[in-house]
Structure formats: structure tokens, C-alpha cells
């Protein structure tokens, strides 16, 4: 039997990364409670805290959620849902339920995150009928295969795994009937940046090697070589959170290159200020009325330091290049 490379994960660093799950969830909870967008499921994962979030943060999450969803839904439509979606580092994301309600479920929807986070998510699902009912409804039997560590139902699979251990990840996905021949969409939001370049390149390359027809949507930081980036890195370091892969976040070019160099055919990237201005402007106008923004330049700066990058390889010539903004 081949010996696997043992990799040492610094517990503190990983803990800090896992804590970002709460950041994202509480910010989204706050934003939805203010009416930025509707998510009737998030309340089952995170309670509303008394703490207000600044308007620019809510607007940032609005752009993120709508930007990623635009590409995600585009992929689903292009493949007429005859595909798979795998969300890496999904945290407490509620996309499965959104797609179920919109009748846009792929053949199978996978989520991967640290076991600790998955356990939390599963506990919420188990104890809240509004979460479990839709899953049961898409399952062929009345019983869900769910232990404390993973869920494998017909249409929804949640796996606890370390994204830096690719052999283990692949094994677990295959156990949940991952079909490498189906067009597959990978999504990662503020995930790759917490890994070293080597680790994220391996991941991105593994996807390219394993799937012939695929798309990868990556949302994370960009333009980090400036002062703002410096400050963000310092602030996060104070929380013991390392942006180990921040070098790739240098520019839109470097974000695209990470995919192109790993065997993806095409890659595109936009910073979130651009995305914000491309999104349907009546709804953007609506959310701008929700809270008072104290300094517009700061919103712009914030948005310019995040991007959505998406890469495709299209052996089946489905026209995946058409999936864009």
C-alpha cells in the first residue's frame, strides 16, 4: 500500500480558517435580515446577533452572492441540470435549498468542508424540518443516510474532508457516487487563499485532470499587493489567520493563470466592483436604499479587492464559455 504523505496542519491556523465560516454566516444573516436578499433557510443555521454589520460589508456580500449565483445558475441551465455541483469549503451555505425551491437542482449537489463544520451543519439539518424535509423529498427512500460526519442522499451529499488531502477527498467523493464523466461545477469562496500555492494548485490541477467537462468558480481576494491588501493581511494575522495563498491574489491575471497553468482551457476574472455594476441595477438601486453608506470610496476599495474568477474546460462542447456575466 502506498504511503500517503502526512501533512501537518497547524491547529491554530485551521481553527482560524474554520472561524471564517461564522464570519460569512453572520454577515449573510445580517444582510438578509435587512432585506438585501432573501434566504429563508439561513435562519436555521445562524441566530441573529445584536451586532450590526457595516453597509459596505452587506453590499459586498450582496455582490458576492449574486455574482456567484449568476454563474452557478448559468452553468445549471447550460447543462440543463444534467451535471454535478461541488462546493468546496461550503460552510453553512444554503444553496441546495435555494436550487431545490427554484427547481434547478443538479443531478447531485456536493459540499465539502472540515469535519467539524460538517458535523455542525448536519446537526442543524437533523433537528430542523424545514432543512431536512426538502432533502428527504429528493431522496428515494424515507431514510436519510446521515451519521455525525457525512450525509449521502440521492441529490445532496455533505462530506467532511481536508481539501489539502486530495487522495482522501477523491475517495470520499467517489464513495458518494461522484461521476467524473458528468459536466461538473466546482465552487470555492474564500477557500483557496487559506491554502499554500502548492496545495491549491494541486487541487485545481486535480479537478482539471479528473473532469473533462467542468467549470470552476473561485471567489476571493485580488489586487492584494497594495496598501489595502497589506492592512488586511496584518489584521487577519492578528486573528492567527494566514492568507497562505495570497500571492496568487496579486492581480486578475495571476488569478486566471493559476487555472490556465493547471490545465484549464479558458479563464476569466472580474473584480467585484465591476460585478456590482453589471448586476441588475434596479435591484442594486433597491439595496442601496436599505442602509446609509458612509463613504463610497471605501466600498469601491473593498469591492476592488475581491474578484470572481471562473475557468472552463469543455470537452463535450456544451458552450460553457457562454456562461458569463
Partner 1 sequence: MAGAADCGSVKMAEAERSAETLKEKANNYFKEKDYENAIKYYSEAVELNPDNAIYYGNRSLAYLRTECYGYALADATLALELDKNYIKGYYRRATSNMALGKFKAALKDYETVVKVRPNDKDAKLKYQECSKIVKQKAFERAIASDELKRSVVDSLDIESMTIEDEYLGPKLEEGGKITLKFMKEMMGWFKDQKKLHRKCAYQILVQVKEVLSKLPSLVEITLKETEKITICGDTHGQYYDLLNIFELNGLPSETNPYLFNGDFVDRGSFSVEVILTLFGFKLLFPDCFYLLRGNHETDNMNQMYGFEGEVKAKYTAQMFELFSEVFQWLPLAQSINGKVLVMHGGLFSEDGVTLDDIRKINRNRQPPDSGPMCDLLWSDPQALDGRSVSKRGVSCQFGPDVTKRFLEQNQLDYIIRSHEMKSEGYEVTHNGQCITVFSAPNYCDQMGNKGAYIHLKGSDLKPEFHQFAAVPHPNVKPMAYANSLMQMGMM
Q: Could you list the residues that contact partner 1 (CB under 8 A)?
A: 20, 23-24, 26-27, 40, 51-55, 57, 60-61, 64, 129-130, 133, 190, 221, 227-228, 231-232, 234-236, 239, 285, 288-298, 301-302, 305-306
Give the nearer residue to partner 1 in terms of CB position, either 19 or 145: 19
Give the nearer residue to partner 1 in terms of CB position, either 83 or 270: 270
Q: Are 194 and 246 in contact (CB under 8 A)?
A: no
Cα separations in angstroms, 60 against 140, 237, 271, 297: 39, 22, 11, 13
In the complex, least distance from residue 292 CB atom to partner 1, rounded to whole angstroms = 4
Give the nearer residue to partner 1 in terms of CB position, either 145 or 231: 231
Helix (H, G, I), strand (E, B) or coil at 140: coil
In the complex, least distance from residue 172 CB atom to partner 1, rounded to whole angstroms = 25
Q: Is residue 16 within a helix (H) or strand (E), and if so which, with residue range?
A: helix 11-34
The count of residues in the chain is 325
In the complex, least distance from residue 75 CB atom to partner 1, rounded to whole angstroms = 22
In the complex, least distance from residue 231 CB atom to partner 1, rounded to whole angstroms = 6
In the complex, least distance from residue 287 CB atom to partner 1, rounded to whole angstroms = 8
Surface-to-core class of residue 210, CB atoms within 10 Å of its CB (0-12 exposed, 13-18 middle, 19+ buried): middle
In the complex, least distance from residue 201 CB atom to partner 1, rounded to whole angstroms = 22
Give the nearer residue to partner 1 in terms of CB position, either 16 or 119: 16
In the complex, least distance from residue 185 CB atom to partner 1, rounded to whole angstroms = 21
Give the nearer residue to partner 1 in terms of CB position, either 236 or 279: 236
Give the nearer residue to partner 1 in terms of CB position, either 51 or 147: 51
Give the nearer residue to partner 1 in terms of CB position, either 75 or 194: 194
Cell numbers placing 273: 466592483
Choose among 7, 10, 24: nearest CA to 90.
24
CA distance 276 to 28: 17
Give me the phi and psi of 144, to 5 degrees please. -90, 135
Sign for the pseudo-dihedral over CA of 27, 259, 210, 115: negative
Concatenating the DSSP letter of every residue in 35-59 gives: TSS--TTGGGT-PPPS----HHHHH
Amino acid at each position: 500500500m502506498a504511503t500517503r504523505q502526512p501533512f501537518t496542519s497547524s491547529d491554530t491556523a485551521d481553527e482560524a480558517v474554520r472561524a471564517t465560516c461564522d464570519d460569512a454566516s453572520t454577515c449573510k444573516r445580517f444582510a438578509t435580515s435587512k432585506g438585501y436578499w432573501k434566504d429563508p433557510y439561513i435562519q436555521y443555521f445562524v441566530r441573529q446577533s445584536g451586532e450590526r454589520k457595516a453597509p459596505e460589508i452587506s453590499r459586498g456580500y450582496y455582490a458576492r452572492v449574486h455574482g456567484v449565483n449568476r454563474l452557478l445558475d448559468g452553468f445549471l441551465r447550460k447543462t440543463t441540470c444534467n451535471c454535478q455541483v461541488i462546493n468546496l469549503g461550503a460552510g453553512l451555505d444554503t444553496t441546495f435549498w435555494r436550487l431545490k425551491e427554484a427547481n434547478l437542482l443538479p443531478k447531485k449537489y456536493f459540499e465539502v468542508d472540515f469535519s467539524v463544520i460538517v458535523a455542525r451543519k448536519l446537526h442543524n439539518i437533523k433537528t430542523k424540518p424545514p432543512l431536512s424535509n426538502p432533502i428527504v423529498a429528493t431522496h428515494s427512500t424515507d431514510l436519510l443516510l446521515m451519521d455525525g460526519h457525512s450525509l449521502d442522499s440521492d441529490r445532496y451529499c455533505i462530506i467532511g474532508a481536508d481539501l489539502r488531502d486530495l487522495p482522501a477527498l477523491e475517495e470520499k467523493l467517489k464513495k458518494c457516487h461522484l461521476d467524473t464523466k458528468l459536466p461538473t461545477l466546482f465552487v470555492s469562496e474564500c477557500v483557496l487563499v487559506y491554502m499554500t500555492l502548492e496545495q491549491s494548485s494541486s487541487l485545481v490541477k486535480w479537478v482539471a485532470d479528473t473532469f473533462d467537462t467542468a467549470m470552476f468558480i473561485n471567489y476571493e481576494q485580488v489586487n492584494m499587493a497594495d496598501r489595502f491588501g497589506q492592512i488586511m493581511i496584518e489584521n487577519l494575522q492578528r486573528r492567527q489567520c494566514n492568507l497562505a495563498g495570497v500571492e496568487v491574489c496579486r492581480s486578475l491575471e495571476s488569478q486566471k493563470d493559476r487555472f490556465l497553468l493547471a490545465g484549464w482551457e479558458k479563464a476569466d476574472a472580474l473584480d467585484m466592483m465591476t460585478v456590482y455594476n453589471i448586476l441588475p441595477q434596479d435591484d442594486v438601486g433597491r439595496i442601496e436604499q436599505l442602509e446609509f453608506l458612509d463613504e463610497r470610496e471605501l466600498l469601491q476599495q473593498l469591492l476592488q479587492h475581491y474578484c470572481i474568477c471562473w475557468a472552463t474546460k469543455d470537452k463535450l462542447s456544451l458552450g460553457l464559455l457562454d456562461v458569463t456575466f
